[in-house]
Chains A and B, each alone.
Chain A
């Protein structure tokens, strides 16, 4: 139990660092501010956010290296870098890592860290479930990647079409590790979704109505609803696949009369909402960044909110456009074709709104803004090639060619990942209290832009010329002549991917340099607009000294500026002064949730169960026992720490306490 006593001019009392409870004897760990305990047992949404980010960044590097290996193999005819089997594993794991272990958890990192801050809350609704979600994601990610060392990774493509992913064509345990590992990260996503939706609905600061919420919070909320309903569908598909592979079920056994489209439908009913799960957080991030660096409010805030929600809804009705080549029949194809064209409308609305936000603004171009503008342009290119897929006859030609690869890398790399990088530069001072270097950041940005366009733009040409996806080698004899020579464009793409890798390396160098000698960030470095900036950098453990009452969209901005009678914008307070005002009215007692042993214990049981399902059922039963133990420990531990663990209050008895969790 961390009780922060105020008012007090000194820093919060130093908390005891010796655990006063025996490990796990149904007491809660003592709150410590540093050391491994402070990370392992933490339920603090900010620490969990940082851990999500660090682990996701690690997987980004892993997935990036896999991509570079793919490009090295294809750089020249008759590539010898990878053999066919390893190549299959490489592209499968590249996609799996990037989708499930980088973009989704990195969005979770931002959501965890900033969503409570943006709505003026001190933590999420279920802090322990939040911790459980992180550990489940970490263990699931490690579990999937362990297959590399245990007989080979999954090799069926990230969509893992059955029956192709059955034991005949994928005899190694790779697909089993993949299916069970994704179940584990799926549990993490599901718990996260429940947690964040309840947080948004229930824990807003006074006056923070839904239509005053920052747009990032809105987009994250839409994403959580998508996760809530998409995750169980992939769960079913993964269970069916596991039963098929491990218990001889017949779901995908075509000889027994199975429908080979069953997997495709289940996968894409999940898979298409997943696309929006990947992109909407980045839309949210740049909708925060663009107004700040244009010094204008977001143009048409309600339109951006509702178009985000519309994308969320329509996203459920377009899954079969991934299956145009599978013989669905003309009616289905027509319906899904039209729905796919329709979903371009709310997406277009967003692009228009961003453009109008910049229009006539007082623009400045720090790296965060550059990445945001990069998203608007590159995503639009990817969006336009996406619309060409909605035309079914054309799509049947493009299916399984590099044209598709070009399209989804423009929307995912140029869209989702550029948005995340924009978020890194924008929020780094908030999280770590130091400014990322702009000089290194510019190198980072321009190399990524050049590398990304060199890698993926030629793929349009390659694809339209008919180079198939997932082809592990190509020969000079069939490469063609002149401008459309496949060899030339493959080489360009491969060089581009190396430039891209160097660009990302500059980001890592930037992190390192900033950590060592970065300059201290001022309280309000960007003259920002939303609530997360209305506290110190980095925020205190309890986020806000007193919970602000919200009267406007862009509350922080409205506290800093007012309009004179002639309509002129005048600054009435600096950001520091606004923060000081909040500190002056600090709450006397702030209860923060206590750390807990059980989230990590419960999460650890999941890979044990999964191992057991692959190798030996008794091990799975041990895992089940750990899970049961974890549940009991979780349910029985006191909801707050026991009295002997609470620091005695120094003053002010009987005041209203703020409860969290």
Chain B
């Protein structure tokens, strides 16, 4: 999107010395904090309100989710390697690490789909209880964020191969990296609050 439409010189002309695109991305992520803040607050308010539906401890498969969380966190590592390769102008390595990052992200989303299906089969529908609605909404929003990240990563790989990135490549990779790390950090918070703290 817009963050890729940068001038190579942009960074040299700003009052703060920071690039417009990076500053814009940081501000956007600041705003995202409040989005997840609102969703997390809603979940924390409702997490014990299960009505007649299943309780969290009945539906959570903590070992499974721990593994998929680990996969997602590892994708931050591969993202860092992609950014580093982009700074070294190593296109092959950049493409490789970006692809691996996207695959790890896809594994996480796949795990989430599996988890949702399993819970649904155990009787936890979207409107079963307040806990169910707020759980699916919070984790669903996070899943959509990861999915958007995967689309951006794969698009970037495609564009890199055709050498069509406008502006600075390294900065474009870095921008998507910022977004990706943010989504990971949010998951650490969500995982801790939802799965690790008993109701």
A residues apposed to B, CB below 8 Å: 125-126, 128-129, 190, 193-195, 197-198, 201-204, 208, 228-233, 235-237, 239-240, 243, 247-251, 253, 256-259, 262, 266, 269, 631-632, 634-640, 658-659, 661
B46–chain A nearest beta-carbon distance, Å: 8
Q: Is there a chain A Cβ closer than 8 Å to B199's Cβ?
A: no
Q: Given A232-B32, A249-B133, is A128 in contact with B14 using a C-beta cutoff of 8 Å? A: no
Bitwise, B28-39 to A at CB < 8 A (1) or not (0) is 101111110111
Of A228, A249, A659, A661, the residue contacting B27 (CB under 8 A) is A228
A227 (CB) vs chain B CBs: closest residue: B31
Contact B14 A202 (CB under 8 A): yes
Given contacts A202-B18, A231-B31, A636-B159, 4 further A-B contacts (CB under 8 A): A128-B5, A202-B20, A230-B34, A256-B51
Contact B137 A239 (CB under 8 A): yes
Contact B38 A126 (CB under 8 A): no
Contact B5 A125 (CB under 8 A): no
Q: State the CA gap A208–B15 with chains docked (Å).
A: 9
Q: State the CA gap A253–B32 with chains docked (Å).
A: 27
Q: Given A129-B2, A201-B16, A257-B49, is A194 in contact with B129 using a C-beta cutoff of 8 Å? A: no
Q: Is there a chain A Cβ closer than 8 Å to B59's Cβ?
A: no
B17 (CB) vs chain A CBs: closest residue: A202
Contact B31 A198 (CB under 8 A): no
Instruction: List B contacts of A659 (CB < 8 A).
Output: 7, 9-10, 13
Contact B127 A249 (CB under 8 A): yes
A339–chain B nearest beta-carbon distance, Å: 19
Contact B32 A198 (CB under 8 A): no
Instruction: List B contacts of A231 (CB < 8 A).
Output: 31
Q: State the CA gap A645–B188 with chains docked (Å).
A: 49
Instruction: List A contacts of B111 (CB < 8 A).
Output: none
User: Which 5 pairs across A and B sit closest by C-beta, in order of nearness?
Assistant: A236-B38, A232-B35, A202-B14, A232-B34, A249-B133
A634 (CB) vs chain B CBs: closest residue: B1
Instruction: List A contacts of B2 (CB < 8 A).
Output: 126, 128-129, 634
Q: Given A202-B16, A233-B38, is A639 in contact with B126 using a C-beta cutoff of 8 Å? A: no
Contact A125 B137 (CB under 8 A): no
Of B16, B31, B127, the residue contacting A190 (CB under 8 A) is B31
Interface residues of B in 147-179 (CB under 8 A from A): 155, 159, 164, 166-167
Contact B130 A258 (CB under 8 A): yes
A328–chain B nearest beta-carbon distance, Å: 15
Interface residues of B in 103-149 (CB under 8 A from A): 126-130, 132-134, 137
Instruction: List B contacts of A190 (CB < 8 A).
Output: 28, 31
Instruction: List B contacts of A634 (CB < 8 A).
Output: 1-2, 5
Contact A229 B30 (CB under 8 A): yes
Q: State the CA gap A640–B14 with chains docked (Å).
A: 19
Of B14, B31, B34, B45, the residue contacting A259 (CB under 8 A) is B45
Contact A233 B34 (CB under 8 A): yes
Of A125, A240, A249, A635, the residue contacting B4 (CB under 8 A) is A635
Of B5, B28, B137, B159, the residue contacting A639 (CB under 8 A) is B5
Q: State the CA gap A109–B27 with chains docked (Å).
A: 22
Contact B15 A203 (CB under 8 A): yes
Q: Is there a chain A Cβ closer than 8 Å to B42's Cβ?
A: yes
Instruction: List B contacts of A269 (CB < 8 A).
Output: 38
B79–chain A nearest beta-carbon distance, Å: 19
Contact A236 B20 (CB under 8 A): no
B86–chain A nearest beta-carbon distance, Å: 16
Instruction: List B contacts of A251 (CB < 8 A).
Output: 42, 46, 130, 133-134
Q: Given A250-B130, A257-B130, A659-B7, is A243 in contact with B18 using a C-beta cutoff of 8 Å? A: no
Q: State the CA gap A259–B129 with chains docked (Å).
A: 13
Contact A237 B167 (CB under 8 A): no
A257 (CB) vs chain B CBs: closest residue: B49
Instruction: List B contacts of A256 (CB < 8 A).
Output: 49, 51, 129-130
A456–chain B nearest beta-carbon distance, Å: 34
Q: State the CA gap A659–B1 with chains docked (Å).
A: 19
Q: State the CA gap A269–B39 with chains docked (Å).
A: 13
B191–chain A nearest beta-carbon distance, Å: 20
Q: State the CA gap A257–B50 with chains docked (Å).
A: 9
Q: State the CA gap A266–B42 with chains docked (Å).
A: 9
Contact B7 A249 (CB under 8 A): no
Of A236, A250, A638, the residue contacting B166 (CB under 8 A) is A638
A to B CB contacts below 8 Å, 8 in the list: A126-B20, A195-B24, A201-B23, A236-B35, A236-B42, A249-B127, A256-B49, A262-B42
Q: State the CA gap A253–B45 with chains docked (Å).
A: 14
Q: Given A243-B133, A259-B45, is A197 in contact with B1 using a C-beta cutoff of 8 Å? A: no
Q: Is there a chain A Cβ closer than 8 Å to B84's Cβ?
A: no
Contact A232 B31 (CB under 8 A): yes
Instruction: List A contacts of B38 (CB < 8 A).
Output: 232-233, 235-237, 266, 269
Q: Is there a chain A Cβ closer than 8 Å to B6's Cβ?
A: yes
Instruction: List B contacts of A237 (CB < 8 A).
Output: 38
Of A228, A249, A259, A638, the residue contacting B30 (CB under 8 A) is A228
